[in-house]
Each structure stands twice: as structure tokens, then as C-alpha cells.
């Protein structure tokens, strides 16, 4: 462990309709401290100086919930690959470095305050996807539902999406295609998701468009910045699912 001092250039915005600006703060921390803990240290300094603390989202701090959505030095969740902001440690930065911290930048994710954004749009997309039908009663024997390992693995990989919004923040178009495709794929690849398969794909894509997300132009930035390494092959699957659903109308 080594002590270090960093300059945090943080976006401050009092409310959704207020004008925001960057403010720079100097913080003493160490290499074994997480980035969110460093923000906690800064907020303690601000409170002690009778200043307004910085608002930012966080919950589990274990890389599971997707709440800690910060744009750090031009990267969603910061420079660490395959990790969320809460899994980012100060050893990734240099002593004396100036670190720029912003909220997600997307029209579909309006700023609530400072570094917090409203990601209710993702909830609405998932709600549009609806439910999964299944037969109640005694559990079937596992061998009665044969699923290839390839499909099972792809469905599980898709289901690891935590809905943090890094894909939207990374995309120059503000597209949510990686998120939507992961949610559609995790059901489309399994027998349990077949009943509502066509309706789900159609409804989720239409809701995504309605909420103002941009179009996908296959730059691959979403996959590169995704903390769960969701593959853009899911987007191709979503396009196929949507076309088949529209043709069946």
C-alpha cells in the first residue's frame, strides 16, 4: 500500500434542469482504496467543510448490481477492463493525476443530480418484455428439457448483463442494443422462453425506440466497455428475432 494524492475533476449539477460544471477537488487516498471509497473520503471532507457532498449511485459494491455508473477518464466504469466502478482501485492511477468523473451521457438517461442519472428507461424496456410462461406443478426431470451446452452457455453469458448502462454511455449513438439483445437472448436460447419469444423481441425493441435510444452502427464500443463482456453477437440475434417477429404479424 502506498499513499497518494489525486485531483478529482467532478461534474456537479444541482438538478435535472440546472446548469452543470466541473469542479476540481484534491483528495488524499492510497493505492489499496477503491474508487468509490475515495469518493466517500472526498464527501467526508466536503461535509466537514459544510459543503454539499457529491451525489453518486452505489449499492452492492461487489460488481453485481450495476448501480455504480461513472464515466471516468473517458471510459464507462473507468480504465479497468471487465470491471465495474466499485471494482476499480486507485492503484490504476498515478500519484498527482487529475481524474475526470462524469455521469452517463445519454438523452435516455437524464441527470438527476451530480453523477446520478435516471436509468428507469431500462426498467421500462424489461417490463415491456413481460413474463415467461411455464407449467406449474412438480418439477420435470432435467433430462426432459434437453438443452445443448452451447446454447446453455450463451444464455448464461447473456444473463450476466447487470443493466448498468455502460453500453449506452460508450455508444456514440446512445444505443441500448447490447442491453436489449442480452435480455432477449437469455430467453430466446432456452425452451422456457419460447412461448412469448416473438412478442418479447418486438415489444422490447419498440419500447427502446420509443424511449429515445439511438441506432446501432456496429462500432463495437459497447462490447469493449461492458463490465460483463457481453458479446455483440447478441445484437445480430436480436435483429433476427425482431425480423422473424415482424414477419409473423
CATH of the domain at 216: 1.10.1060.10
Question: What's residue 249's pLDDT?
Answer: 75
Query: Residue 150 pLDDT > 90, yes or no?
Result: yes
Contacts of 204 (CB under 8 A, 6+ apart): 125, 126, 128, 129, 180, 183, 184
What is the mean predicted confidence (pLDDT) over 77-98? 96
Output 165 or 192, whichever has higher pLDDT. Answer: 165
Asked whether residue 240 is assigned to any structural domain, the reply reads yes
Asked whether residue 9 is assigned to any structural domain, the reply reads yes
Model confidence at 232, pLDDT cuts 50, 70, 90, reads very high
pLDDT in tens, 183-224: 999 999 998 899 999 999 999 999 999 999 999 999 999 999
Sign of CA dihedral 104, 109, 111, 117: negative
Asked whether residue 113 is assigned to any structural domain, the reply reads no
What is the mean predicted confidence (pLDDT) over 82-97? 96
Output 246 or 125, whichever has higher pLDDT. Answer: 125
Query: Residue 164 pLDDT > 90, yes or no?
Result: yes
Tell me the average pLDDT of the chain.
94
CB 182 within 8 A of CB 234: yes
What is the mean predicted confidence (pLDDT) over 107-119? 96
Domain holding 220, by residue range, is: 119-247
- Give pTM, 2 decimals: 0.93
Question: What's residue 131's pLDDT?
Answer: 85
Residues 194 and 226 in one domain: yes
Residues 139 and 73 in one domain: no
Beta strands in the chain (DSSP E): 3-12, 21-30, 71-72, 75-76, 98-102, 111-113, 116-117
- DSSP letters along 2-24, please? -EEEEEEEEEE-SSTTSPPEEEE
Residues 243 and 125 in one domain: yes
The span from the CA of 122 to the CA of 17, in Å, is: 22
Query: Residue 143 pLDDT > 80, yes or no?
Result: no
The residue assigned the cell 452492492 is 60
The span from the CA of 154 to the CA of 139, in Å, is: 24
The span from the CA of 79 to the CA of 99, in Å, is: 11
Question: What's residue 118's pLDDT?
Answer: 96
Asked whether residue 107 is assigned to any structural domain, the reply reads no
What is the mean predicted confidence (pLDDT) over 232-238? 96
Output 6 or 137, whichever has higher pLDDT. Answer: 6
CB < 8 Å & 24+ apart, contacts of 132-135: 132/187, 132/192, 132/193, 132/195, 132/196, 133/195, 133/196, 134/192
CB 114 within 8 A of CB 103: yes
Q: What is the dihedral of CA 36, 38, 44, 49, to 10 degrees?
A: -130
**Residue 104: closest CA among 8, 23, 171, 161:** 171
- How many separate domains does the chain show? 2
The residue assigned the cell 456514440 is 172
Where among 102, 136, 152 does a domain terminate? 102
Amino acid at each position: 500500500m502506498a499513499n497518494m494524492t489525486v485531483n478529482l475533476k467532478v461534474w456537479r449539477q444541482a438538478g435535472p434542469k440546472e446548469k452543470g460544471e466541473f469542479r476540481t477537488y484534491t483528495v488524499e487516498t492510497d493505492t489499496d482504496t477503491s474508487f468509490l471509497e475515495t469518493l466517500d473520503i472526498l464527501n467526508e471532507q466536503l461535509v466537514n467543510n459544510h459543503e454539499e457532498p457529491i451525489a453518486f449511485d452505489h449499492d452492492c459494491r461487489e460488481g453485481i448490481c450495476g448501480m455504480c455508473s461513472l464515466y471516468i477518464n473517458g471510459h464507462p466504469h473507468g480504465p479497468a477492463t471487465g470491471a465495474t466502478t466499485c471494482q476499480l482501485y486507485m492503484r490504476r492511477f498515478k500519484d498527482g493525476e487529475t481524474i475526470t468523473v462524469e455521469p452517463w451521457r445519454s438523452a435516455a438517461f437524464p441527470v438527476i443530480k451530480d453523477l446520478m442519472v435516471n436509468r428507469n428507461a431500462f426498467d421500462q424496456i424489461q417490463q415491456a418484455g413481460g413474463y415467461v410462461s411455464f407449467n406449474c406443478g412438480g418439477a420435470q426431470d432435467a433430462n426432459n428439457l434437453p438443452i445443448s451446452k452451447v446454447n446453455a452457455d450463451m444464455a448464461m453469458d447473456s444473463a450476466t448483463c447487470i443493466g448498468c448502462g455502460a453500453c449506452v454511455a460508450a455508444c456514440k449513438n446512445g444505443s441500448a442494443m447490447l442491453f436489449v439483445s442480452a435480455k432477449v437472448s437469455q430467453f430466446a436460447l432456452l425452451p422456457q422462453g419460447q412461448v412469448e419469444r416473438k412478442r418479447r423481441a418486438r415489444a422490447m425493441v419498440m419500447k427502446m425506440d420509443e424511449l429515445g435510444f439511438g441506432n446501432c452502427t456496429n462500432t463495437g464500443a459497447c462490447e469493449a466497455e461492458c463490465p460483463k463482456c457481453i458479446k455483440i453477437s447478441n445484437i445480430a440475434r436480436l435483429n433476427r428475432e425482431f425480423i422473424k417477429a415482424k414477419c409473423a404479424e
